[in-house]
Amino acid sequence: MKKLFVGILMVMVMVGVGGCAATQKGIQGNKLTVGTVQKEIKKGMSGAEVAEALGSPNIVSTDEQGREVWIYDKISTDRIKSESSGYGSLILFGYRGSSGSSSTSQKTLTIIIKFDNNKKVRNFAYHTSRF
């Protein structure tokens, strides 16, 4: 019963958050990929167009000449867990056993977008890793 309650609560929170996120056209969370950057970001785009394509950056800074630099830094973790179990009976004695394995991997994506004095994209770069 407790698991059902927690599940219903999580769905309600996700629907509430999803309703708020639906008003923003940017790509959030794990959906931000190198392919998205390559497809959507072009030199000469405005900051508003970048924000519409990628969402809000994690960091906004300036370079040595006072031009804006936006940084998107995403980290995701994949956890895979598998289990197997068995049960057998030998006349009066029972046997129950289980085994399993798990693995965890992480990937990072860092996107750096540099703007010119006219607030247009002058250059962008990205780096991705998996470990």
pLDDT in tens, 53-76: 999 999 999 999 999 999 999 998
Q: Residue 45 and residue 54: Cα distance in Å, rounded?
A: 12
Q: Residue 89 and residue 96: Cα distance in Å, rounded?
A: 9
Q: Residue 107 and residue 99: Cα distance in Å, rounded?
A: 28
What does pTM read for this prediction?
A: 0.62
The parts of the chain modelled with pLDDT lower than 70 are 1-30, 84-98
3-state secondary structure of 31: helix
Nearest one of 73, 84, 71, 88 to 124, comparing CA atoms: 71
3-state secondary structure of 122: strand
Indicate if the alpha-carbon torsion angle 52, 54, 60, 63 is positive or negative.
negative
Alpha helices in the chain (DSSP H): 2-21, 34-40, 47-54
- pLDDT at residue 16 in the model: 44
- pLDDT at residue 106 in the model: 92
- pLDDT at residue 78 in the model: 85
- pLDDT at residue 92 in the model: 59
